[in-house]
Structure 1
Amino acid sequence: MGNSKFKEYFAPTVVLLVICLVASALLTGTYIMTKPIIAQREADAASGALAVVLPGGSDFAVMEDVTLVENVLEVQKAGNGEGFVVTASVGGYGGQVQSMVGINAAGEITGLQVMNHAETAGLGTKAFEEAYLGQFWGATSTDGANVIGGATYSSKAIIGAIDATILQFEVCNGASYDAPVQLTPEEQFAADCLEVLPGADAFTKLEGVTLAENALEVHKANNGVGMVVVTNGIGYNAGTPIKAVVGIDNNGAITGIKVTEHGETPGIGTRPIADEPTYIEQFIGATKITRGSSGDATKIDTISGATMTSVGVYDCAKAGIKQFEAMGGVI
């Protein structure tokens, strides 16, 4: 009876455990065996790309002692003096887009090849085709560069890689470069508050204050010019609320809005957040807002195609105004 129960209850578990161990071992073995092969293929692809993006270049060597500018991973210099090949990584729609960009000794872009990406095939990848890239050949800047409708983020990833390459070229030729300062979360929050409440100096968080709907925190400007309300609203991606800081002056008017966290779709939901500044500009100076057309409230127009995100940002702004009212109009 004992053996029977063991077989019934425990034997399947033991068998499953053995299968998992064997499968894990096989996967590990496969990874170990294929890792050097994959690495070699990537190296071969990169080596082949050098001649493609910088025609005429030869005897390439990685520059070890050069300062790398933002978004640049590596610089290779052509030993024959033809120019440089820069490997850059810039955020696109689906993640980082890694490219190799050639720039000749005159500072002109000679070629670009995307090495790694997760952009949408047939849409974002249009930015990687000659029909789009051709506008950059011979260019010394990206001024006036076009972006592809429906592939804005992918296009900007290419433009960003070329901008980084041009700046890197200048640094390689002796220009000075100050790397962007990496702020701590606390420093970034302080900077965001100063951005949405011009004229403020520093802030003190108000404890024990009654919070309005969608208001999370209140930070009063130490010099008395107003306050910043940390707010949230629900956009298209309900799983990740839109979080924003809203500046309110002593008259209850909105002085600025900045979205600090969101999970909206790049290129679509981000339109009212950052891509189209005119949306947020509608709120500036308003003490009352509406999405309809009632009374003396400022009417806020939503962005077609990004309605839910627009409403989420609107709710953040509304929370800032309601917080001022909840405090009796006294900051």
Structure 2
Amino acid sequence: MKELKLGAILFLITAICVGSLGFINSLTTPIISLNKEKAEKEAMGQLLQEADDFVSVEEIDDPMISSLYVGTKQGQSVGIVAKVTTNGYGGGIELMVGINKANKIMGVQILAHSETPGLGANAKNPSFINQFIDKTSPLKVTKTTSDEEIVAITGATITSQAITDGVNQVAEYVLNHQKELLKEGN
């Protein structure tokens, strides 16, 4: 009888804890989603500064690209911003890439990653990310300085390659679908 009473008490405590966690999760999930959406909108504005509005593209036939937006200014398309997920050393790397009408990369922002602190996590540093600006695809990763190549982060070549692959993926998609994505009035 004593064991049954202890089991019931343990069950009650566990049920209260699980219920509390579920309740807190239901309160925080919408806030987290709004913050993530806000961060993505800020990233889009920074990557394609010329645009004053972004129109979502519904049909994307590339599994790596999760969302794609046409940036417009006064109703005229000025470029593309896309969110892509690629595989780095520590797992998925979610990044956003901005490309203008001339197929130049306007910028790259890492939204989420699980790379090694002090190595792959350094990919967020401007010294690495700014290398992509004003370049055209295809880009290659190298260990020495070059104008049309990306210098790898020391000790994080896999991460550097993954980010470059993601940027190349978006640039290739935009190039192959440029007519329908950037048509006038879009």
Q: If the TM-score is normalised by the length of the shorter chain, which range does it land in?
A: 0.7 to 0.9
> Counterpart of 2:150 in 1: which secondary structure?
coil
**Shift in Å, 1:35:** 0.8
> Counterpart of 1:50 in 2: which secondary structure?
helix
Corresponding residue of 1:59: 53
Give runs of aligned pairs for residues 289-308 of structure 1, distance below 5 A: none
Q: Report if aligned partners of 1:86, 1:100 keep a CA contact under 8 Å in 2.
A: yes
Measured at CA, do residues 162 and 132 of structure 1 come closer, stay the same or move farther in structure 2, by a change above 3 Å? same
Residue deviations 1:213-265 (CA, integer Å, cap 9, x gap)? xxxxxxxxxxxxxxxxxxxxxxxxxxxxxxxxxxxxxxxxxxxxxxxxxxxxx
Percent identical across equivalent pairs? 28
Give runs of aligned pairs for residues 234-245 of structure 1, distance below 5 A: none
Higher radius of gyration, 1 or 2 = 1
> Counterpart of 1:44 in 2: which secondary structure?
helix
Distance in 1 between residues matched to 2:91 and 2:119, nearest whole Å:
15
TM-score (norm 2): 0.85
**Shift in Å, 1:123:** 1.1
- Is 1:33 the counterpart of 2:35? The answer is no
Corresponding residue of 1:193: none
- Is 1:148 the counterpart of 2:153? The answer is yes
User: Residue type matched to 1:75 in 2?
Assistant: L
Corresponding residue of 1:159: 164
Q: Report if aligned partners of 1:70, 1:164 keep a CA contact under 8 Å in 2.
A: no
User: Residue type matched to 1:52 in 2?
Assistant: Q
**Shift in Å, 1:69:** 2.8
Which structure shows the bigger proportion of residues in helix conformation?
Answer: 2
**Shift in Å, 1:153:** 1.6
Distance in 2 between residues matched to 1:54 and 1:125, nearest whole Å:
24
- Which of these residues, 154, 170, 176, is aligned with residue 175 of structure 2? 170
Distance in 2 between residues matched to 1:112 and 1:68, nearest whole Å:
21
The higher-RCO structure (CA 8 Å, 6+ apart) is: 2
**Shift in Å, 1:70:** 4.6
Corresponding residue of 1:102: 98
Distance in 2 between residues matched to 1:109 and 1:123, nearest whole Å:
24
**Shift in Å, 1:145:** 2.3
Q: Report if aligned partners of 1:97, 1:114 keep a CA contact under 8 Å in 2.
A: yes
Residue segments in structure 1 that go unaligned for 5+ positions in a row:
1-5, 176-331
- Is 1:85 the counterpart of 2:90? The answer is no
Distance in 2 between residues matched to 1:173 and 1:136, nearest whole Å:
20
Distance in 2 between residues matched to 1:86 and 1:100, nearest whole Å:
6
Distance in 1 between residues matched to 2:81 and 2:61, nearest whole Å:
13
User: Residue type matched to 2:95 in 1?
Assistant: S
Q: Report if aligned partners of 1:69, 1:167 keep a CA contact under 8 Å in 2.
A: no
Residue deviations 1:290-328 (CA, integer Å, cap 9, x gap)? xxxxxxxxxxxxxxxxxxxxxxxxxxxxxxxxxxxxxxx
- Which of these residues, 33, 37, 47, is aligned with residue 41 of structure 2? 47
User: Residue type matched to 1:84 in 2?
Assistant: I
Distance in 2 between residues matched to 1:57 and 1:121, nearest whole Å:
34
Residue segments in structure 2 that go unaligned for 5+ positions in a row:
141-148, 181-186
- Which of these residues, 113, 119, 122, is aligned with residue 117 of structure 1? 113
User: Residue type matched to 1:74 in 2?
Assistant: S
User: Residue type matched to 2:21 in 1?
Assistant: L
Distance in 2 between residues matched to 1:33 and 1:70, nearest whole Å:
31
Distance in 2 between residues matched to 1:152 and 1:83, nearest whole Å:
29
Moved over 2 A (4+): 67-70, 143-146
Residue deviations 1:38-68 (CA, integer Å, cap 9, x gap)? 1111111111111111111121011113x43
Corresponding residue of 2:16: 22
- Is 1:126 the counterpart of 2:122? The answer is yes
TM-score (norm 1): 0.49
